[in-house]
Chain A
Amino acid sequence: RKEVEQDPGPFNVPEGATVAFNCTYSNSASQSFFWYRQDCRKEPKLLMSVYSSGNEDGRFTAQLNRASQYISLLIRDSKLSDSATYLCVVTFSRGFQKLVFGTGTRLLVSP
């Protein structure tokens, strides 16, 4: 079983739609959680951290459910520029943090 699992998609949505991605992780000792964004043929970049209390950054809302070991990302009012691959990332500590990436969920926003 992969440490971090995501639906690869693609999710095809029209502009203005709301779309949600989920991610599950297998290691209950995981400590920190993130969403990264990767544009086609580019490097991954941090989108936002994910907290148990939930956090929001503009049109993006991230949520963590530790009991069920899943993380979600909600994008409201999708823009064409949101088209990208969204990578779920979890970390656990062995004295140092190790980032483990999911395979990513591809989002395509169309006019």
Chain B
Amino acid sequence: DTAVSQTPKYLVTQMGNDKSIKCEQNLGHDTMYWYKQDSKKFLKIMFSYNNKELIINETVPNRFSPKSPDKAHLNLHINSLELGDSAVYFCASSQDARDTEAFFGQGTRLTVV
């Protein structure tokens, strides 16, 4: 049983396309995150949701839109993909917004061509 699962694992797409990445956690956690890890392996937070409410939005282009239909799911939709969006996107969750241990999904390797 995977605690934090995200799909797809790999995504290759052309510039200008719109794509979505899905994330689900079965840990009963209240807080979920999206992180981006670039080619230099720098892991940076993009968004955080606590009980379906957005609590962190780190100056991410508005082409990126997270959606949390319930506290177990946090999806990421990206419009008009650009070459610079190529990265590994990690979903994560924690017990609550004050808990600092984050459990990560396996990552989605996005390649924009």
List residues of chain A with CB under 8 Å of any chain B CB: 32, 34, 41-46, 85, 87, 91, 93, 95-101, 103-104
A–B pairs, 18, beta carbons within 8 Å: A32-B100, A34-B101, A42-B107, A44-B102, A46-B101, A85-B41, A87-B43, A96-B48, A96-B50, A96-B55, A96-B98, A97-B94, A98-B45, A99-B45, A101-B42, A101-B44, A104-B41, A104-B43
Known A98-B45, A103-B40: A93·B98 in contact at CB below 8 Å: yes
Instruction: Indicate if B34 sits at the interface (CB-CB under 8 A).
Output: no
Which chain B residue lies CB-closest to A31? B100
| Residues 6-56 of B at the A interface (beta carbon under 8 Å) | 31, 35, 40-45, 48, 50, 55-56
Instruction: Indicate if B78 sits at the interface (CB-CB under 8 A).
Output: no
Roughly how many angstroms separate A91 CA and B97 CA in the complex, as a whole number? 12
Instruction: Indicate if B105 sits at the interface (CB-CB under 8 A).
Output: yes
Grouping DSSP codes into helix (H, G, I), strand (E, B) and loop, the A interface class, with mixed when no group exceeds half, is strand
Which chain A residue lies CB-closest to B109? A41
Number of interchain pairs (Cβ within 8 Å): 51
A91 adjacent to B44 (CB under 8 Å): no
List residues of chain B with CB under 8 Å of any chain A CB: 31, 35, 40-45, 48, 50, 55-56, 90, 94, 97-102, 104-107
Chain B nearest CB from A38 CB (Å) reads 8
Which chain B residue lies CB-closest to A103? B42
Roughly how many angstroms separate A87 CA and B35 CA in the complex, as a whole number? 14
Contact of B106 among A42, A85, A95 (CB under 8 A): A42
